[in-house]
Amino acid sequence: LFLAFLLAGFLALAPQVAQGVKLDGNGLVQLYVSQLSYLVLFRVLVFSKEHGLRAQLEAAHLHHLAHTDPLTGVANRRSILKSLEEALLRHQQTAEPLCLVLLDLDRFKQINDCYGHEVGDRVLVQATRVLQQNLRPGDQLGRWGGEEFMLLLPNTSLAEAEELCARLQPLLAQHDHLPPVSASFGVAAALPGDNPRSLIARADSAMYASKQAGGNQVKVAS
């Protein structure tokens, strides 16, 4: 830009120089120095903005890595546990219903043993997609570990949570070009005085009862 400005000035002043017109050298120098200063300042501002944007993108990327399961793309254990803590706090403040669901894909080890871990990973990704596409606005999904997932259902009664799980059961089995999959569900409703550990323990006990009964069932914590 500065070179173009110099060239334009040269082309504009060349005829006057050729005619012997005396030019104000100090004024020209001040003009060009001021223009160069503006350009340098503009570049510094642009660089500063670019640096700030890169820092924001890097921070967002690190936050995503810290809170997201790398295989399925949903909340990881740390993130969904934090969401549970916040949801329980709201439940205690507002007394709105809150349900927690733990689900475990049945006989997943057999899938890995028979078809390999690559197919097992595809099953996990597909199961995650099915769950995400059929949850309601406000519901939260996280990978609790291995083939186990957690559903956080705010403002949801025990009957509504059980109904949702029953609707998800046949949908999980609809895998295209993948081995059939089912899941064992354990549902627990938040009670006064609950903390994350106690609520998770009841949902886990219900899920274990579902697996003990043969899997592909929905059990509600008593």
Of 50, 86, 147, 148, the catalytic one is 147
Helix (H) or strand (E) holding 102: strand 98-105
66 half-sphere exposure, CB direction, 13 A CA radius: 7
User: Would residue 160 show up in a list of annotated catalytic residues for this protein?
Assistant: no
* Residues linked to residue 154 through DSSP beta bridges, in sequence order: 98
Q: What is the C-alpha separation between 206 and 213, in angstroms, rounded?
A: 11
Q: What is the C-alpha separation between 95 and 197, in angstroms, rounded?
A: 19
3-state helix, strand, coil in the chain (%, to 5): 60, 15, 25
**How many C-beta atoms surround the C-beta of residue 80 within 10 A?**
22
Helix/strand/coil for 176: coil
How many DSSP H helices and E strands does the chain contain? 7, 5
Q: Which residues are catalytic?
A: 147
